[in-house]
Amino acid sequence: MSSFTLPLNDGRSIPWLGFGTGTALYNKDAENAVKTALTTGVIHLDGAQMYGNEESLGAAIKASGKPRDALWVTTKLAKLSPGQSVRESLQGSLKKLQLDYVDLFLIHIPIQHEDLKGVWKQFEEVHKEGLAKSIGVSNFRVKDFEQILDGATVVPSVNQIEYHPYVFKASQPVVELMKKHNIRPTSYGGLTPIVRNKGGPLDPVLVSVKDSVTKRASQPVNEGQVLQLWLRKKGVPAITTSSKAERIQEYIAVETLPELTDEEEKALDDAGSQVHHRAFLQWIDE
């Protein structure tokens, strides 16, 4: 059972490991995959309006029979239709999810909204109403935060971003701003260095760290788990996905593996900083 949590600036705690219904499940029926995740022990489910599968996510939650307060469910706002309010959009999601509230509601893509500040004000309203227990953002740059933090009555609890050693250096400015406001980074695409960018300077360091952690853990550890240990060391929840129960069990096992040493963390930081590879949303670097 996944049980490791990290505190947010609103007094709540987010489960470190999240199961995402985007990427491989984008615009696909996610019910069976989510059922597998829930059965295997994941309690944090990360959805989005843009993924086009909130109904199947809701069906899996209902079929699990798990108490609502035993789960953490996230969804994200897509581009609003003309005249549509944030509340109306969220209520549409809640209907599909068959839920009375979500644990976390995020602005998904900042450049989809002309009046970002106005959208955030509406987020504060659905938060006050209890439709979203925590509110936050995703894919936000420094300039996006500057728009909404000016006059905000609620500071975003998280910013979900692509985060792994190959974007570590590029992410520093926004991560530093988030530290000032106690905003928790959460990660997607964390396994990018091994699934999308093999052959880079990180490869030998991942092998070396994997061997060291394997010795300390007295059990086999793989490179994907090392990347997730890097996230855990930095206090960054990991959103990932798989249709295989054994792979999800590997993710859950990361919660109990020995922590990376400071030297191992720095070696991964340094190797990742030698090149820049962003797998998603290239406009973030513009």
**Could you tell me the residue ranges of all domains in the chain?**
11-198+234-245
CATH T-level fold of 11-198+234-245? TIM Barrel (3.20.20)
- pLDDT digit string, tens, across residues 101-133: 999 999 999 999 999 999 999 999 999 999 999
Report the mean per-residue pLDDT for the chain.
Answer: 97
Q: Which of 26, 51, 163, 166 is catalytic?
A: 51
Q: Is the pLDDT of residue 2 over 80?
A: no
Instruction: Inform me whether the pLDDT recorded for 1 exceeds 80.
Output: no
Report pLDDT for 27. Answer: 87
**95 near 148, Cβ under 8 Å?**
no
Residue whose C-alpha is closest to residue 209's, from 259, 163, 274: 259
To the query of whether residue 51 is one of the catalytic residues in this protein, the response is: yes
CB 133 within 8 A of CB 71: no
pLDDT tens per residue, range 206-233: 999 999 999 999 999 999 999 999 999 9
Q: What is the pLDDT of residues 158-182, one digit of tens each?
A: 999 999 999 999 999 999 999 999 9
Binding site annotation covers 181?
A: no
**What is the pTM for the complete model shown?**
0.96
Confidence of residue 243 (pLDDT cuts 50, 70, 90): confident
CA distance 248 to 176: 31
- Give residue for tokens 């894919």: 139
From 195, 206, 224, 231, select the one nearest 17 (Cα to Cα): 231
Confidence (pLDDT) at 25: 87
Return the closest-CA partner of residue 138 out of 151, 120, 122, 124.
120
